Amino acid sequence: MSKVRVLVGTRKGAFILTSDGKREKWDVTGPHFAGWEMYHLKGSPADPNRIYASQTSGWFGQVIQRSNDGGKTWESPGGGMPDPAAGGWPPKPSNKFVYDTSAETGKPLTTHQWYDGTQHPWEFKRVWHLEPSLTDPDTVYAGVEDAAIFRSTDGGSSWHELPGLRGHGTGPKWQPGAGGMCLHTIILDPSNPKRMFIAISAAGAFRTDDGGKTWKPINQGLHSQYIPDPKAEIGHCVHHMAMNGKRPNVLFMQKHWDIMRSDDAGDSWKEVSGNVPTDFGFVIDVHAHEPDTIYVVPIKSDSEHFVPEGKLRVYRSRTGGNEWEPLTNGLPQKDCYVNVLRDAMAVDSLDKCGIYFGTTGGQVYASADAGDSWAPIVRDLPAVYSVEVQTIS
Amino acid sequence: MTVRVELPQHLRTLAQVGREVQLDIPAPVTLRSVLDALEAAYPVLRGTIRDHVTQQRRAFLRFFACQEDLSHESPETPLPDAVVSGKEPLLIIGAIAGG
């Protein structure tokens, strides 16, 4: 029988929630890495026992963790016993993220736009998102703050920037959002191994069609009234993007304002916000089997950043956008003031698609019937940063 | 010389060690030589105390020994005799606000 494993990153550690295919009874393990900020955990589609985790701290910096047994045990790859042949140093510094400025492969570091409009140097802060390869358990991409994309081909033991993105030439116009200048979304195209999509707050979305050597901004159709040119090529605060792998040319986006859809792999976008009750949110995801069924959680902004009217509502569109229905069965409908952050929603791939999301109030909710009804798996975790799901047969 | 180094809680967990580690370090014993030896013995600590590239102390960590704040000393400054002899530990402390 199939099993579901939910990987939860929180402000104070990671938790792993497991259930059988019924998704009624759950086992909870954790906290793993107690006390550390766990921005993201994600399993390899090629080997479900291989899980990568981003462990970070304002005091101690960035640590990459890896599990080879489904999250029971963890190691910092490349950080094993010292190698005498290397003078006592580990051969591969697994936690080292250094922007590539080499003459051979890199790009100059340049500067980006700071909050006050001045230019500011690029500074590595943390890994926001880890995206394992669809085919190779040892290959994984990392989206980092300040925005750049790195790749490891040795299981996280060493990391190398794909500098074509940061060196695209528009970098001086990129600017941090309220959460920092983060590359938070990485989507791999299952039909084209050379194609990837990424998104940066606040620069916008980019696509590569050559495996990460060169990148193209894909922001035509986005409208952001808070930047001098609302239709600029660069500067949009994209919060998250999602794709159903069965239809890889169709992308959905939750922007700082507006829900957007592209039917041409990001070359152009149109707004599909329709009747959602606010124009702001972070998460967006797509049903595993119905490519036109999408989910968002509207949030009140600009300053509140919690759900409107004290009601936690997931909105579902079965028409690829524009027409939305609130899903409330099992969710609190009064006195609720939580947020749902950008990487904190995921779907499983069981026949009856399961939807999962975590809140800043520490609840992780699950629906085993595509959103018709919900129940909390856990209620009292630290603030949830990220939720990912593995469907294990 | 066997030098004692006391680590903050999170780094003990990360390195899978207790409150204090002991390191054999040839003279002269300096902040740099102690941290080099610490990172060589526990590679997972690379980047957690000093920046990977600049080797600068991370901003929220401090170094103390013998009731002295060594955080702003040159990495090449010899450590106090009591640390070199193992009588006193070098303390690596995470800065914590009160309140």
Residue B81: its H or E element: helix B81-84
The angle subtended at Cα B58 by Cα A112 and Cα A90, nearest 5°, is 100
The pLDDT value recorded for residue B98 is 58
Domain A3-248+339-392: what homologous superfamily? YVTN repeat-like/Quinoprotein amine dehydrogenase (2.130.10.10)
pLDDT tens for each residue of B67-85: 999 999 999 999 999 999 9
The pLDDT value recorded for residue B19 is 94
- Write out chain A's pLDDT in tens, 393 residues: 799 999 999 999 999 999 999 999 999 999 999 999 999 999 999 999 999 999 999 899 999 999 999 999 998 886 655 544 544 444 456 789 999 999 888 888 889 999 998 999 999 999 999 999 999 999 999 999 999 999 999 999 999 999 999 988 899 999 998 889 999 999 999 999 999 999 999 999 999 999 999 999 999 999 998 888 999 999 999 999 999 999 999 999 999 999 999 999 999 999 999 999 998 999 999 999 999 999 999 999 888 999 999 999 999 999 999 999 999 999 999 999 999 999 999 999 999 999 999 999 999 999 999 999 999 999 999 999 999 999 998
**B40/A88 Cβ within 8 A:** yes
The pLDDT value recorded for residue A94 is 75
Domain B1-61: what homologous superfamily? Beta-grasp domain (3.10.20.30)
Contact A63, A72 (CB under 8 A): no
Name the residue ranges covered by the structural domains of chain B: 1-61
**B8/A35 Cβ within 8 A:** no
C-alpha count within 13 angstroms, C-beta hemisphere, residue A35:
9
For residue B2, pLDDT beyond 90? yes
- A76 contact residues in B (CB cutoff 8 A): 14, 44
Measure in Å the smallest separation between the Cα of A386 and chain B Cα atoms. 22
In this prediction the pTM is: 0.94
The pLDDT value recorded for residue A81 is 52
**Interfacial residues of B (vs A; Cβ cutoff 8 Å):** 8-11, 13-14, 39-41, 43-44, 46-49, 51-53, 58, 60-61, 94-95
Q: Assign residue A109 a region (left: φ > 0; alpha: ψ between -120 and 50; beta: otherwise).
A: alpha
Q: How far is CA A83 from CA A74, A93, A303, A393, B40, in A?
A: 20, 12, 51, 39, 9
